[in-house]
Structures are given as structure tokens and as C-alpha cells.
């Protein structure tokens, strides 16, 4: 039976879109195993003549990718986890603890942060970090990462919390639960799908952030992977095999983590529907 054209065209567009995304990644992956720039230029998409696994060892140790990788990971992880906790607490207060005439205003005030582009705040953030005396420390990145993600996180978590029946809270109050136990034992577990989504978005944003990490950190031992990669390329100049190796180190962990957490989102949504 012939497949209708109107069903075929969308699939063809999706296949083309996937190919466009995969082509640069395949180029970077194959180039990271090649011996020199000549081989990369003459056979950009061909398999390496000899697989140079030593490129990864050299980039990891000699170019300090291990240091940059660790700095990026723990800053992105801790800032995203802290942002998730703060956004959940804020959303709980706004959506489940109604304040007379003020809860709506508080919610609108938080969302104003989404209207201001992050780059516009760069100078103000730099002056604030400088006056606080935390310039050239990881605190100068941790605080902006956490605070900058709150508006979108609160919006997403609040929308999810509004769908939770209020009867659960009424039953918890009858059982003698206080607000803190209600938040941690009832509301927070039911909000896991939204919290995981917020964590993924925040983690990816923190992991790929370049502007603040480049200007706020000057010590090489404290640099994150995006800003450290600039030094990495300067150090090796035109050795593109090692540059591509560093790019692989920065891309693969994110893909693995996203794939793992994406499965957790589906599991959380399924569990929530069964409980409901």
C-alpha cells in the first residue's frame, strides 16, 4: 500500500534535519582520532588512516581538560540542583500558599526576570561580584548561574504545581503535617517530572555558558570547559585534532546525561498518572 505524500514529506524533513545535526558531530568525532591537520583537510569525513587514541590522553592531561571538565561539571550540577530547590520552594509558596493580594504580584515580579536578556546584566553583575570580593572564584559563577535560571524555573514548576489537587494538602493537614513536611513529602515528589526538566535545562545552560566564565575567572585552575577551550586552542594553535578531541569531551557527557534524564522524565510522568 502506497504511503500518502502528506505523511512522507514530514518524515523526509525530519530525516534531513537529523542528518544536518549529525554531520558536524561526525566530522568532529573522526577528526579527533586523526594524526594531523593534513589528514583532516584531505579526508574531512573519512575514517582515520590510523586511530590516534593518544589524542585523548594528551588533551586530557597535557591540555588540562580534566581540570576544566571537573570545574564545569560541579559548577553546572550544583547550580542547577540549587536552582531546582529554590524554584520549587518559590513555586510552592506562590501557588499553594495564597497571600492576600500579594501572591500574584510576587509571581509577576519573578517573571520580570525573563524579560531581561542575560547579556544586558553583564556589567552590573561584574561590578556586584567585584564589590562582594568573589571575583576570580567559583562563587562568581555559582551565584549568577543559580539566580539567572530562577524566573523560567519558577514559571515551569508553578504551572505543574497548579495541577496538583488541593485535597492532598487538606488530607495532610488533617493528619497533622506542617508546611515543611507537606512540601518535602507530598508536593516535591509529585513535582519530580517538572523538576527533572528544570534541572536538565539549567544544567545545559550552565555547562555551555561562556561569557561570565571567561571574564569572571582568570586563574587557569578555576576555568570551566568553554573558557578553557579557548586557552586550549591557543596552546596548540592549529592542531585541530586535539581541538576536536576537546570538543568531544565537552559534548559527549551532555548527550549521555540528557539521554539518561530524558528516560527519567517519561518514568516520572507515567508514575504520576498511575498515582493520580
**b/e string for 220-256 if b means 16 or more Cβ within 10 A?**
eebbbbbbbbeebbeebeebbbbbbbbbbbbeeebee
In a domain, 47, yes or no: no
> Which structural domain range is residue 163 located in?
79-227+252-275
Residue 246 domain-assigned (yes or no): no
* Angstrom distance (rounded) from CA 6 to CA 250: 39
Q: What does the pLDDT average to over 258-274?
A: 58
pLDDT digits (tens, 9 = 90+) for 135-165: 999 999 999 999 988 998 888 888 888 888 8
Structural domains of the chain, count: 1
Whether 45 maps to a domain, the answer reads: no
Burial of 41 (0-12, 13-18, 19+ CB in 10 A): exposed
Note whether residue 117 is domain-resident: yes
Residue 242 in any domain: the answer is no
Residue bearing cell 570547559 = 225
DSSP state of 112: G
- Looking at residue 238, what is its pLDDT? 62
Look at residue 42 and tell me if it is in a domain.
no
Query: Is 54 part of a structural domain of the chain?
Result: no
pLDDT digits (tens, 9 = 90+) for 199-227: 888 998 899 899 899 899 989 889 998 88
Query: Which domain CATH number covers 169?
Result: 1.10.3720.10
Helix (H, G, I), strand (E, B) or coil at 194: helix
pTM of the entire predicted model: 0.82
Distance (Å) of CA 269 to CA 111, 179, 199, 261, 264: 26, 25, 16, 12, 9
Residue 52 in any domain: the answer is no
* Residue 200: CB atoms within 10 Å: 19
Amino acid at each position: 500500500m502506497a504511503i500518502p505524500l502528506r505523511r512522507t514529506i514530514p518524515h523526509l524533513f525530519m530525516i534531513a534535519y537529523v542528518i544536518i545535526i549529525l554531520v558536524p558531530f561526525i566530522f568532529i568525532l573522526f577528526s579527533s582520532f586523526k594524526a594531523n591537520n593534513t589528514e583532516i583537510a584531505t579526508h574531512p569525513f573519512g575514517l582515520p588512516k590510523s586511530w590516534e587514541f593518544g589524542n585523548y590522553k594528551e588533551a586530557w592531561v597535557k591540555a588540562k581538560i580534566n581540570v576544566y571538565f571537573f570545574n564545569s561539571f560541579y559548577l553546572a550540577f550544583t547550580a542547577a540542583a540549587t536552582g531546582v530547590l529554590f524554584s520549587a520552594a518559590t513555586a510552592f509558596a506562590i501557588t499553594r500558599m495564597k497571600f492576600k493580594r500579594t501572591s500574584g504580584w510576587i509571581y509577576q515580579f519573578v517573571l520580570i526576570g525573563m524579560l531581561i536578556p542575560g547579556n544586558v546584566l553583564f556589567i552590573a553583575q561584574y561590578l556586584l561580584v567585584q564589590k562582594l570580593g568573589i571575583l576570580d572564584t567559583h562563587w562568581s559563577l555559582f551565584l549568577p548561574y543559580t539566580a539567572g535560571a530562577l524566573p523560567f524555573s519558577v514559571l515551569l514548576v508553578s504551572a505543574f504545581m497548579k495541577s496538583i489537587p488541593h485535597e492532598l494538602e487538606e488530607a495532610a493537614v488533617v493528619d497533622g503535617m506542617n508546611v515543611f513536611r507537606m512540601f518535602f513529602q507530598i508536593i516535591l515528589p509529585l513535582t519530580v517530572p517538572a523538576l527533572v526538566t528544570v534541572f536538565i535545562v539549567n544544567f545545559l545552560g550552565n555547562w555551555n555558558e561562556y561569557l561570565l566564565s571567561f571574564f569572571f575567572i582568570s586563574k587557569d585552575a578555576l576555568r570551566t570547559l568553554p573558557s578553557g577551550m579557548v586557552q586550549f586552542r591557543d596552546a596548540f594553535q592549529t592542531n585541530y585534532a586535539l581541538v576536536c578531541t576537546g570538543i568531544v569531551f565537552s559534548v559527549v557527557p551532555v548527550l549521555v546525561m540528557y539521554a539518561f534524564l530524558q528516560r527519567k522524565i517519561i518514568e516520572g510522568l507515567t508514575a504520576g498518572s498511575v498515582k493520580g
